[in-house]
């Protein structure tokens, strides 16, 4: 599972997790986005494509425009004095507007609204997130109360909740396993629930989820639990449970707003105090490597290969200086 990266002539070994970096769903969404950007269409995206500043910049540089919400095309005021290039930039025919749905997916109402405003939809939702959507819609139709275990503010969770009509009498129930108060209020929220379907945000940690399932099982007679933590997340988490025990120090690479990187870091830290969460090579400190014989590296699902490579190069450089 681990790739050993030669650390030149230094005795310190660098061990890179095999699953470090982009997951299949993120890579797929980026491939779709770049292909679309080269198609000459005007492409919009609701929010950031992934939680990584470098990738977001690349996407914007490729010409995809980030918007907060879909809008009807505004009337355009032409100033005869303005330069003609600026005028043509504003001339986006309504039938040439494309909305790219990110790997995290989106709720049905958002897609319906965009279609109503003449956006063509290109759906880059990860197939594993799509499967969660399918389960939720199917079980809602069968009359099951939908319970989502995940981070309320995360786009993926909002997209899952948005699969069913929230004007129902029974609104989707959401539990955030990171909030202890959510666990306390858990029992209160489910007292009247007789049958429920539970799905999980794809990047959650199974241990925390199972604790919640245990509580739910004692209160809900007909409970259907779908473990929708995706395979790439499971592989990453399996690796991060072992690596901190086999390496003197651990570096976890990923943006500070990436939830799955945060989880990798938390697991690592709980097993090895010398775990450090960095966004880029600039945050690495030489004193971390004092007396270390090996360093483990892992990276979140939205961390590009280039960032991982830069971190490895920087470590090699620091190790060389240390040995000199
Ligand atoms: S983390 Fe999993 S569900 Fe999310 S985009 Fe990657 S593969 Fe898909």
Of residues 265 and 181, more confidence is placed in: 265
Q: What is the pLDDT of residues 298-324, one digit of tens each?
A: 999 999 999 999 999 999 988 776 554
How far does residue 85's CA lie from ligand 1's centre (Å)? 40
pLDDT value at 189 more than 90:
no
Catalytic residue, from 53, 156, 205, 310: name it: 156
Same domain, 167 and 238: no
Q: Which atom of ligand 1 is nearest to the CA of 28?
A: 5
Cα 186 to ligand 1 centre (Å)? 27
Residues with CB under 6 A from ligand 1: 23-26, 103, 126, 128-129, 202-203, 230, 232-233, 301
Check if the beta carbon of residue 249 is closer than 8 Å to that of residue 295: yes
284 Cβ contact partners less than 8 Å away, ≥ 6 residues apart: 251, 276, 278, 311, 314, 315, 318
* Domain tally, the chain: 3
Per-residue confidence (pLDDT) for residue 306, from 0 to 100? 95
Q: How many CB atoms lie within 10 A of CB 254?
A: 28
From the CA of 202, how far away is ligand 1's center (Å)?
A: 6
Spatial distance between the Cα atoms of 318 and 301, rounded to a whole number of angstroms: 26
The pTM for the full model equals 0.85
Residue nearest to atom 6 of ligand 1 (CA): 25
Mean pLDDT over 254-273 rounds to 94
What's 96's DSSP letter?
Answer: G
Top pLDDT among 282 and 71 is at 282
Query: Do residues 49 and 92 share a domain?
Result: yes
The pLDDT of residue 77 is: 47
From 173, 196, 225, the end of a domain falls on: 225
Q: The domain that contains 216 carries what CATH number?
A: 3.40.1010.20
Beta strands 2-5 and 13-17, pairing class: antiparallel
172 CA → ligand 1 middle, Å: 22
Residue-level pLDDT at 83: 47
Is the domain of 250 the same as that of 212? no
What's the pLDDT score for residue 5? 65
Q: How much is the average pLDDT of 56-79?
A: 75
CA angle, residues 270, 51, 66, in degrees to nearest 5: 165
Give the C-alpha separation, 228 to 213, whole Å.
Answer: 13
pLDDT for residue 165: 82
Do 206 and 141 share a structural domain? yes
pLDDT at 90: 45
Between 135 and 166, name the one with better pLDDT.
135
Question: What pLDDT does residue 185 have?
Answer: 73
Judgement on whether residues 18 and 29 belong to the same structural domain of the protein: no
Cα(98)–Cα(42) distance, integer angstroms:
6
Residue 99 CA, ligand 1 centroid: distance in Å:
20
Residues 241 and 207 in one domain: no
Residue 207 CA neighbour count, 13 Å, CB half: 7
Q: With pLDDT > 90 as the criterion, what percentage of the chain qualifies? A: 64
Co-location of 236 and 317 in the same domain: yes
Residues 2-53 pLDDT 10s: 666 655 445 789 999 999 999 999 999 999 999 999 888 889 998 888 888 8
* Nearest protein CA to atom 5 of ligand 1, as residue: 25
What's the Cα-to-Cα distance from 9 to each of 78, 82, 235, 247, 310, rounded to whole Å? 65, 62, 31, 19, 19
Nearest CA to ligand 1 atom 7: 25
Please tell me the predicted confidence (pLDDT) of residue 180.
Answer: 64
Q: Which residue of 104, 129, 262 sits with most ligand 1 atoms within 8 Å of its CB, as the best mutation to test the pocket?
A: 129
The CA 147 to ligand 1 mean position distance, Å, reads: 20
Q: Do both 89 and 17 map to the same domain?
A: no
Cross-strand bridge partners of residue 4: 15
Cross-sheet strand order for the sheet of 145-149 = 173-175, 145-149, 195-200, 222-225
Residues forming beta bridges with residue 297, ordered by sequence position:
16, 251
Q: How confident is the model at residue 175 (pLDDT cuts 50, 70, 90)?
A: confident
- Of 142, 188, 186, 193, nearest to 171 by C-alpha is 193
Of 225, 253, 284, at which residue does a domain stop?
225
| Residues 110 and 157 both lie in one domain | no
Q: Is 156 a catalytic residue?
A: yes
Q: Which of 206, 225, 244 is the last residue of a domain?
A: 225
Reduced to 3 states, what is the DSSP secondary structure of residue 196? strand
Same domain for 165 and 109? no
User: What pLDDT does 181 receive?
Assistant: 65
**Contact status, residue 117 vs residue 168, Cβ threshold 8 Å:** no
Kindly state whether residues 68 and 43 are assigned to the same domain.
yes
Ligand 1 pocket: which of 123, 127, 128 to mutate (most atoms <8 Å of CB)?
128
Instruction: Assess whether pLDDT exceeds 70 at residue 193.
Output: yes
pLDDT average, residue stretch 129-140: 97
Domain that holds residue 181: 127-225
Which residue is closest in CA terms to ligand 1's atom 8? 25
Average pLDDT over residues 107-111: 93
Q: Are 90 and 135 in a shared domain?
A: no
Residue to mutate (ligand 1; options 49, 52, 103, 133; most atoms within 8 A of CB): 103
């Amino acid at each position: 599972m681990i790739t050993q990266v030669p650390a030149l002539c230094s005795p310190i070994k660098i061990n890179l997790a095999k699953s470090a970096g982009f997951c299949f769903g993120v890579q797929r969404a980026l491939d779709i986005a770049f292909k679309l950007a080269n198609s000459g269409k005007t492409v919009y995206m609701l929010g950031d494509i992934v939680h990584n500043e470098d990738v977001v910049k690349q996407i914007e540089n490729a010409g995809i425009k980030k918007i907060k919400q879909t809008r009807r095309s505004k009337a355009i005021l032409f100033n005869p004095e303005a330069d003609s290039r600026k005028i043509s930039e504003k001339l986006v025919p309504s039938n040439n507007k494309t909305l790219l749905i990110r790997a995290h997916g989106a709720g049905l109402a958002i897609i319906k609204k965009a279609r109503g405003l003449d956006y063509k939809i290109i759906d880059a939702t990860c197939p594993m997130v799509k499967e969660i959507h399918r389960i939720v819609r199917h079980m809602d139709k069968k009359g099951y109360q939908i319970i989502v275990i995940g981070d309320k503010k995360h786009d993926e969770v909002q997209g899952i909740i948005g699969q069913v009509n929230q004007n129902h009498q029974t609104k989707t129930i959401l539990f955030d396993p990171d909030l202890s108060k959510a666990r306390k209020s858990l029992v209160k929220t489910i007292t009247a629930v007789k049958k429920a379907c539970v799905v999980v945000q794809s990047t959650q940690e199974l241990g925390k989820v199972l604790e919640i399932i245990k509580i739910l099982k004692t209160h809900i007679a007909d409970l259907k639990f779908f473990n929708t933590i995706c395979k790439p997340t499971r592989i990453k988490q399996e690796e991060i449970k072992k690596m901190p025990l086999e390496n003197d120090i651990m570096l976890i690479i990923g943006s500070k707003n990436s939830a799955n990187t945060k989880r990798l870091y938390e697991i690592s830290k709980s097993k090895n105090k010398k775990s450090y969460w960095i966004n880029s090579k600039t945050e690495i400190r030489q004193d971390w490597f004092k007396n270390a014989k090996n360093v483990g590296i892992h990276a979140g699902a939205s961390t590009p290969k280039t960032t991982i490579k830069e971190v490895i190069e920087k470590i090699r450089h620091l190790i060389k200086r240390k040995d000199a």
